[in-house]
A and B are shown apart, each in its own frame.
Chain A
């Protein structure tokens, strides 16, 4: 029944609103705190708000007395993974911390760990004697439990199960204890194993639930949840026998007796919840790699809860558990021993049989915790790897590193708390006999109906159970055909499409506009381009290069062509060359400042230009000051001065500072001030006087910035005329300054130098020779372009004709 938090009316399970007041009722997976009326997830042992125990004794007894309701509840509550994935915001649960605080007093208590002084008040309240409190509901529930216990004792057990000893049942109960609802239901009726119900699409089994699956006999009585028809028609006989009221296991008796101990049942529930949650999360995070798991891990949401990251980081602390007193063998007995060996598992001494309920319950609790710890320790190396990958995933999820560190600390505390749980003295004695039964381990007999509901990818067609790999470790060690837990846990989630980038109507129209505007820019496709037939690209390049070299060499060795071919230097004299000659010729012996702003890469063209200028200055007997803004220009200046035999030369060297340095030098020229340390050199009076008398600035530039720098920084503040000697490629850039008068004259490359040389210097030098060869090469290029155009044009026409 679901108690309405508003009017306290009992409502049937399944109702969403109260039958009395119409207020919203908590869901099946939720429970209302009896103290503060807040709604909590059903798996929580205590209220998130006030810490009050959520699972009151009367609930268990009431449900146990109504199998139908109990089964429904058991179906809802154990589905831990579904709740964590879809419904319950796990990151909001701090129950681990609360649980720690609750269990700590018990752990540090006396030998039994259940002294009244060490039990929290809320536990004492919950477990108070109903007769003392006079609570009629509790009294009724207790009566129902007693009546049902009597029925169970009277029930006939199957032959196979009668051989089960109390220790076997204690194992099973220990496994069930990890699942609160199942454990509760087991006391009164058989519970359905998680994963067997087809309705459970993703049976996320904790470790203890896995243990129960590996014990066929123990799970016989858990088929109650199956449909009746299916149970009647398909169930094997031996399983049908189990469909009777379960026998009363010894440990159950002990647990019932232990219920009288204040706080013990709550402790079991809390530890069971802890184990269930931890095992679930651990299985999710650290099960062997598979494609499905990849999906699960990578699909961790950005707001992944802290405890998930905590569990992932917990693996880093597993090595600390190596020194733990908990033995792996004890856990293996819990997990992997066949119930057919139950004779060995039977208690051997009266002391064990007469162990107090408290001791047995604590022993079960410790065993469960040990199973959890040891199971994690077995996968230590794998856990480390998975942790690293998970940390990477953590980065993708956007969790800050600080939160991860904090989670790591909390994980340490959690492990420490688990280690501190009391261990029963008789536990090892009870469980150890099963170690000797590995050799007689029998394979499980999976019924047909279970085969039918087994997923295809796990055990359907093509699944060879006989030749399936044997489980190497863990609680399922030694078994074949084990269904991978990861596959059952993996839920392929479709990535949420981000809806932030939907195009608006305006954006679509803008795209359409852009497409319209760019339609005219579409070029011909490669298929439409004519290609040279039978000639590869390299061959074509070789042919063109060879022809080009031959033509240039012909121009060099056949100077007579100079007068034949048009384009000779005698034909056209640029206006800038005339102006440059006039200015240079009018120097009258005044010094000239020549800036070599080019590197050896452009020396082939600008050396010729510099040569004609320097030869003219040499004829004028004008002193020459050389400077350069580029380091490679300094040796170029020295070489050209030496080559042209300049009589008076002063090398100012490198001029650092780019525009600033040029401006500073222009200031020295214009204002006739003493520039003591221009270009870091101490200039004597003669040099300063020479700078102040500079009558012409010649800029030999191969790049725009150098030319512009001289024009802007020096030309704007000085009346000294500037002439340029630039490459042909730089000619268009110098033209505007020539038109504005900022450049008095300009020699544009080889044609300008040849014109200057042949028409004004009066001698046919290197420039004229080079120009003849260049003009011949240019004509060859023109002919080649014309021939190629005709050839490919005709080819294109042929293709069109064929089409």
Chain B
């Protein structure tokens, strides 16, 4: 490894370290450095996505269309037209033209997602609960409790007074417990993930700085 490569790695490492510190500075409070880093992350991600799309989607497609002219080539006219129509949404006066493409995207996407949700989630989950009846019963009961907690309606008696069923407070309390446990588990998992990310980041810098100093010393 040459000195330039080492210095290049050092620059990248220092930049990464600086950005990491800038993100962690949010612990104190919101500050310009944190915002700058976040904006950089979003901007770089968007720019990188465009580059990847051109490299992995558009460029291979046009190359294949130019090299091989067959019947299948003409089929690409349809998505090409839809793509061009979609670009029209960038301008307010011609935005309506892009609705055709949006309709195709949303319609096809919704249909595919619906089929997948039914065949891939609902039916298998129902079947597995059927196989384990007790587990399914517990899950259903806890689900009712949780839903009952969000039930904010009541009936009026003949005198016009609000009447709440006697069992409702107990069910609502049970739902509150269920929701608390569920949110606590999710929050604990998120917290654990955050700790792992912090640990991995610190480990990364320790390891990389160690390697860099070894190279510089050697």
Contact A509-B48, Cβ < 8 Å, known A552-B202, A663-B116, A727-B193: no
Complex interface: chain A residues within 8 A of B78 (CB): none
Complex interface: chain A residues within 8 A of B28 (CB): 538, 541-542
CA distance A769 to B128 in the complex (A): 37
Complex interface: chain A residues within 8 A of B119 (CB): 712, 716-717
- Chain A residue with Cβ nearest B52: A631
Name B128's contact: one of A604, A653, A739, A750 (CB within 8 Å). A739
Name A742's contact: one of B120, B186, B202 (CB within 8 Å). B120
CA distance A143 to B28 in the complex (A): 101
Q: Does B166 lie at the interface of the complex (its beta carbon under 8 Å from any beta carbon of A)? A: no
Q: Does A14 lie at the interface of the complex (its beta carbon under 8 Å from any beta carbon of B)? A: no
Q: Does A376 lie at the interface of the complex (its beta carbon under 8 Å from any beta carbon of B)? A: no
CB distance from A603 to the nearest CB of B (A): 8
Name A605's contact: one of B24, B41, B58, B193 (CB within 8 Å). B193
Interface size on A, residues (CB 8 A): 73
- Chain B residue with Cβ nearest A505: B160
Q: Does A453 lie at the interface of the complex (its beta carbon under 8 Å from any beta carbon of B)? A: no
Q: Does B112 lie at the interface of the complex (its beta carbon under 8 Å from any beta carbon of A)? A: yes
Name A632's contact: one of B48, B109, B189, B196 (CB within 8 Å). B48
- Contact of A658 with B109 in the complex, beta carbons under 8 Å: yes
CB distance from B98 to the nearest CB of A (A): 18
CB distance from A461 to the nearest CB of B (A): 57
- Chain B residue with Cβ nearest A630: B49
- Contact of B195 with A777 in the complex, beta carbons under 8 Å: yes
Q: Does B214 lie at the interface of the complex (its beta carbon under 8 Å from any beta carbon of A)? A: no
- Contact of A740 with B124 in the complex, beta carbons under 8 Å: yes
Q: Does B199 lie at the interface of the complex (its beta carbon under 8 Å from any beta carbon of A)? A: yes
Encoded as 1 (CB less than 8 Å from any B CB) or 0, chain A from 622 to 664 comes to: 0000000011101100000000000000000110101110010
- Chain B residue with Cβ nearest A607: B200
- Tell me which of B41, B109, B162, B164 has the highest count of chain A C-beta atoms within 10 A of its own C-beta: B162
CB distance from B34 to the nearest CB of A (A): 14
Complex interface: chain B residues within 8 A of A663 (CB): 112, 116
CB distance from A494 to the nearest CB of B (A): 34
Encoded as 1 (CB less than 8 Å from any B CB) or 0, chain A from 491 to 520 comes to: 000000000000001100100111011000
Contact A729-B53, Cβ < 8 Å, known A542-B28, A659-B112, A742-B120: no
Q: Does B15 lie at the interface of the complex (its beta carbon under 8 Å from any beta carbon of A)? A: no
CB distance from A571 to the nearest CB of B (A): 16
Complex interface: chain B residues within 8 A of A781 (CB): 191, 195
- Contact of A729 with B202 in the complex, beta carbons under 8 Å: no
Q: Does A225 lie at the interface of the complex (its beta carbon under 8 Å from any beta carbon of B)? A: no
Q: Does B152 lie at the interface of the complex (its beta carbon under 8 Å from any beta carbon of A)? A: yes
Q: Does B180 lie at the interface of the complex (its beta carbon under 8 Å from any beta carbon of A)? A: no
Q: Does B84 lie at the interface of the complex (its beta carbon under 8 Å from any beta carbon of A)? A: no
Q: How big is the B interface, by class?
A: 35 or more
CA distance A766 to B27 in the complex (A): 27
CB distance from A263 to the nearest CB of B (A): 59
Q: Does B147 lie at the interface of the complex (its beta carbon under 8 Å from any beta carbon of A)? A: no
Q: Does A793 lie at the interface of the complex (its beta carbon under 8 Å from any beta carbon of B)? A: no
- Contact of A549 with B120 in the complex, beta carbons under 8 Å: no
Q: Does B154 lie at the interface of the complex (its beta carbon under 8 Å from any beta carbon of A)? A: yes
- Contact of A770 with B116 in the complex, beta carbons under 8 Å: no
Complex interface: chain A residues within 8 A of B201 (CB): 604
CA distance A417 to B109 in the complex (A): 68
CA distance A555 to B202 in the complex (A): 11
- Contact of B27 with A545 in the complex, beta carbons under 8 Å: yes
Q: Does A564 lie at the interface of the complex (its beta carbon under 8 Å from any beta carbon of B)? A: no
Name A732's contact: one of B109, B124, B185, B198 (CB within 8 Å). B185
- Contact of A769 with B203 in the complex, beta carbons under 8 Å: yes
CA distance A717 to B124 in the complex (A): 13
CA distance A663 to B28 in the complex (A): 46
Name A599's contact: one of B45, B60, B200 (CB within 8 Å). B45
- Contact of A741 with B128 in the complex, beta carbons under 8 Å: yes
Complex interface: chain B residues within 8 A of A692 (CB): none
Segment of A126-134, A474-482, A673-681 in the binding face: A673-681
Q: Does B133 lie at the interface of the complex (its beta carbon under 8 Å from any beta carbon of A)? A: no
CA distance A481 to B95 in the complex (A): 63
CA distance A656 to B53 in the complex (A): 9
Encoded as 1 (CB less than 8 Å from any A CB) or 0, chain B from 171 to 210 comes to: 0000000000000011001111101111111111010000
CA distance A552 to B202 in the complex (A): 8
Give 8 nearest A-B pairs by CB, closest first: A712-B120, A712-B116, A604-B200, A631-B49, A631-B52, A740-B128, A653-B56, A716-B120
- Hey, which bits of chain A sit against chain B, CB under 8 A? 505-506, 509, 512-514, 516-517, 538, 541-542, 545, 548-549, 552-553, 555-556, 599, 601-602, 604-605, 607-608, 630-632, 634-635, 653-654, 656, 658-660, 663, 676-677, 679-682, 708-709, 711-713, 715-717, 727-732, 736-737, 739-742, 749-750, 766, 769-770, 773-774, 777-778, 781
19 interchain pairs (CB within 8 A)?
Answer: A516-B162, A541-B28, A549-B202, A556-B202, A599-B45, A604-B201, A630-B49, A635-B48, A654-B53, A659-B113, A676-B72, A677-B64, A680-B56, A708-B121, A716-B124, A729-B190, A742-B120, A750-B192, A773-B202
